[in-house]
Chains A and B, each alone.
Chain A
Amino acid sequence: MTQQPDTFDELIHSPVRLKICAALATATALEFTAIEDALRISTSTLSKQLGVLGEAGYVTLDKRKQPFGRPRTWVSLTRKGRRAFDAHVAALRRLIGDDVTP
């Protein structure tokens, strides 16, 4: 699916997925538990919503080894996901007549 500029995205529109995308937009990757802590959502909810976003090709999950301790899962917005999120935010701004890009 190719995103058009300023397109309202039904997939991102869901409140939890919207917050997940907004959080991920602040980084190249966020650690799984950091998203849980930031958004105060459960592991199961986050896993489920990341699954939906992953199926759409909006996010990727990557399990990485640490210098010590257990491996951790990192979540990133894909280029397609970032484009879709930016376009969704622009569409929201356009709706209220505020076209300034975030």
Chain B
Amino acid sequence: MATPAPGVESGTQEELRAIESARQAAVDSTPRPEWLNVLFALTVGVAFGFAVLRTPTGWTVGAVVFVVGLVGFLVIDTHLKRRTGGLLNVSGRNALRFFLMYAIIFVLGQIQPPISWQPWFAIAAGLSVAIAGYIYLRWDAADTAKKLATGDFESSDLMP
């Protein structure tokens, strides 16, 4: 292939840089609001906290909080959303992250603390799940944003 003239090359590189910066700008201007991630993680944490009280009332309140929180999250997310087309993150790194988050939920769910530990155990468990969930959401969002901005995906990977 013939070497392009210096002017052509710099113009082309400028164009490629413009493409990269437009991609980055599009990704940067359309993230899910951080407060929504925090709110959702807290809702899941509160629901889990009620559930580990291990009483019928606790289970019921936990289930209601979870369902209402999930529906609210989906409605608000749909309303605020400025992009469609996330990436299904099936990387090994993401699987490990999900496993770590799920392991915290699983282990805390198996513990049967003495009655005297409540409600502090429920509060601590709920808080742990909320923090783990929030870290997972942020980590996954950052990974996806990086891939979208750099074009490190196939167009068929974009989910509607």
A residues near B (Cβ < 8 Å) are 13, 15, 18-20, 22-31, 33-35, 37-39, 66-69, 74, 82, 86, 89, 92-97, 102
Contacts and interface: CB of A to CB of B under 8 A. Distances in A.
Given A29-B84, A92-B12, A97-B1, A18 B26 contact: no
Contacts of A35: 26
Contact of B27 (A26, A28, A33): A26
Contacts, number: 106
Interface string B14-30: 01101110110111111
Interface stretch (B42-50, B88-96, B119-127, B147-155): B147-155
A95 B83 CA distance: 32
Contacts of B75: 67
Contacts of A69: 79
B29 A66 contact: no
Interface of B: 1, 3-4, 8-9, 12-13, 15-16, 18-20, 22-23, 25-30, 75, 78-79, 81-85, 148-151, 155, 158-160
A29 B25 contact: no
Main secondary structure of the interface of B (DSSP, over half): helix
A27 B19 contact: no
A34 B18 contact: no
| 5 pairs of A and B residues whose beta carbons are closest in the complex | A28-B85, A23-B26, A22-B22, A34-B82, A19-B22
Contacts of B148: 26-27
A34 B4 contact: no
A19 B12 contact: no
Contacts of B22: 18-20, 22-23, 38-39
| Residue picked from A30, A39, A96, most chain B C-beta under 10 Å | A96
